[in-house]
Amino acid sequence: MLSKFIPADRAAAYNLSPHKNRIDLIGHRLVELRYLPVVLAQHVREWLRFTAYLKKRGLIMPLHSRDAHAQAYIAARVRRLQSASRGRFVRASIRIFVEADEEGRFRRGAGRVPGRAPSWLATILDQYVSFVKTHRGLADRTIAGRWRKLIRFGKFLDQAGVTSLKTILPLHAQQFLVELRAYAIGYRLTYASTLRSFFGWAYAVGAMSVDLRPAVVSPRCFKQGGVRDVLSENEVARILSAVDRSTVIGRRDYAVLILAARYGLRPCDIRQLQLEAINWRDGVLSFKQAKTDRLLTLPLLPDVAAALIAYLREGRPVTTSRHVFVRHRAPFEPFVAANNLSSIIRPALERVGLGQRSGRRGLYVFRHTLASRMLAARCQIKIIADVLGHRSTETTMEYASIDLAALRCVAISEEEVRS
């Protein structure tokens, strides 16, 4: 029974609900996951609202939260709310209730809900997604990104009056890319590569009579077109010292920040770091990088070790997860794959007056800063590449554009120009 979590004004509805057993099952699961009582009570309230909605309209329980009836309820419910965060809670609550299995288990997070493809495009998109997942081995996150881009292209085609793949013209692809000109070049390049991939596959399987890949013109992108954004040594020290390590979340955030500052680790590598990666006896940090799948072994620096020990002993919640960093609100699980840890770095920058800086405001700024400092210290490019986990030193060479001291050494003097 979940009587102590049932709001007083909903007790009668709970006792008479035809879905009472399901509410109990999922509610007990939330108790096991150590959800706060007030949060559990809010979930129960939402479930009772939703089941009342179904009963009033004579509807059965949907199989998925993206079911038309579930989405109609969520849309009507969210419209009456004043808070965006409350709307997210409603969506999560309905997802948990609808999709939980016979043991009350449910998926960790919904992520970004994919759009709906035009009816004439939906089937072929499903086939394309199956192909790239099976034969190209793309990660789920990459596939989801391609799906969203092709959905957007499909909506553009709908507006242009296109109703089949074989009526797509080169002009359509070109006009679509022109509409994206306000976005950054890197973002537009991902659209171009997605369209080329889709057009090539569709032509190969006979879904399109013409290969439109040549019609996809990518924006010009110069490899050394920009200067890497970095922090000064003083700014890095201020960011780290401003973290309140007297709190458990502060100890976690400090450990995340110092890993990024000392090693230049990518957010995905910090997020996926396992307890087994820390070899205390040998004093090394060893793990497979998420981006390259290559093993990276680094010395466990004293201040990094101290930060990790403080967090693991006095900050990390009790959990069965083997990830070093986990959520500090139930369920105590690893961060979701889409989390780039911006909720940790952004407040850290704000605390030292760098929240509105013109450059990067994510963890990658530490990666660029470390590379520039190693260059200034005359470290070999191969060593820098090894520390950053680059596959090729060509990638590392991009950081040479910010080594001003070295550039001055090779600059031609005025006398040499005049002679």
95 and 35 both lie in a single domain:
yes
Which has the minimum average pLDDT: 77-86, 113-122, 302-311? Answer: 113-122
| pLDDT at residue number 140 | 74
Q: Are 258 and 240 in contact (CB under 8 A)?
A: yes
Q: Which residues contact 21 (CB under 8 A, 6 or more apart)?
A: none
Structural domain including 173 reads 119-215
| Average of per-residue pLDDT values in the chain | 85
Question: What is the domain-level CATH number for residue 138?
Answer: 1.10.150.130
What is the rounded average pLDDT of the residues 369-376? 83
247 and 344 both lie in a single domain:
yes
Cis peptide before 331 (omega within 30 of 0): yes
Structural domain includes residue 401? yes
Per-residue pLDDT reduced to its tens digit, 148-187 = 899 999 999 999 999 899 999 999 999 999 999 888 788 8
| pLDDT at residue number 410 | 55
Which has the minimum average pLDDT: 2-11, 50-59, 186-195, 246-255? Answer: 2-11
What is the rounded average pLDDT of the residues 387-415? 65
Q: Are 215 and 176 in contact (CB under 8 A)?
A: no
Per-residue pLDDT reduced to its tens digit, 319-331 = 889 999 998 888 8
Per-residue pLDDT reduced to its tens digit, 191-229 = 999 999 999 999 999 999 999 999 998 877 666 555 567
238 and 307 both lie in a single domain:
yes
299 and 387 both lie in a single domain:
yes
What is the rounded average pLDDT of the residues 356-369? 83
| pLDDT at residue number 223 | 60
pLDDT top residue among 129 and 117: 129
Q: Which residues contact 119 (CB under 8 A, 6 or more apart)?
A: none
The closest of 210, 192, 207, 208 to 150, measured between CA atoms, is 192
